[in-house]
A and B are shown apart, each in its own frame.
Chain A
Amino acid sequence: AQTVTQSQPEMSVQEAETVTLSCTYDTSESDYYLFWYKQPPSRQMILVIRQEAYKQQNATENRFSVNFQKAAKSFSLKISDSQLGDAAMYFCAYFPGDNNDMRFGAGTRLTVKP
């Protein structure tokens, strides 16, 4: 079974600074999708960014970018110019497509200090 590992249960960052959240995954597939979801205290799950494994270019969404290392099976999230509203749980997710499950990591709780 595919697994997703987030090795940092908690992280903190100073407002306006940059922070990187780690994610590794285990798979034998060559084509798949990776996601980062954000869960603020409201509990709502919000998509942050998405990466397709066949694309070598790292995805970027405003202040959020990923470092996708396919050979290393690593998918880290970089948040630049951190804002107080970025404080949340962040979940990394792996999806192989077809008739398979989306697998989530255990999450990283990000605190943003003013």
Chain B
Amino acid sequence: NAGVTQTPKFQVLKTGQSMTLQCAQDMNHEYMSWYRQDPGMGLRLIHYSVGAGITDQGEVPNGYNVSRSTTEDFPLRLLSAAPSQTSVYFCASSRGRSSGANVLTFGAGSRLTVL
């Protein structure tokens, strides 16, 4: 089925380790983004991309890197994991930003625990 695929669904890391959360969409969406969800805080934007080769920071970018080499893929890299990065991460995509195109399709989420 078409949609946004995130891997892995669960991951446990030790403080200081690095890892990459993968995100792929097969809907030819231009806009992709990463959010983190923490209890009582809703979803907060980490990084986003408006097209291949273009990325920008969101509300909480520190400790994370992204790249967008293809339209389909938007990986999120944790450079040196910290316990404060324990969260549920969501990747989302949309056709664009304009009216009719800006409805986000979300992946199933990735639960990350940093010990």
Q: Which residues of B sit under 8 angstroms from A107, Cβ to Cβ?
A: 42
Which residue from chain A places its CB closest to the CB of B88 in the assembled complex? A43
Q: A50 on the interface (CB 8 Å rule)?
A: yes
The stretch from B22-30, B73-81, B104-112 touching chain A is: B104-112
A105 and B42 contacting across the interface, CB-CB below 8 Å:
yes
Quick one: CB contact mask for A61-94 with B, threshold 8 Å, 1 for yes? 0000000000000000000000000000001010
Q: How many residues of A contact B (CB 8 A)?
A: 25
Q: Please give the number of chain B residues whose Cβ is less than 8 angstroms from any Cβ of chain A in the complex.
A: 25
* B103 contacts partner chain A, Cβ-Cβ < 8 Å: yes
- Residues of the B chain whose Cβ atoms lie less than 8 Å from the Cβ of A106: 40-42
What separation, in Å, do the CA atoms of A85 and B48 have in the docked complex? Answer: 32
Interface locus among B11-19, B63-71, B94-102: B94-102
Give Cα distance in the complex from A47 to B106, angstroms. Answer: 9
Contact residues of A with B, CB < 8 Å?
4, 6, 9, 33, 35, 42-45, 47, 50, 52, 91, 93, 95, 97-99, 101-107
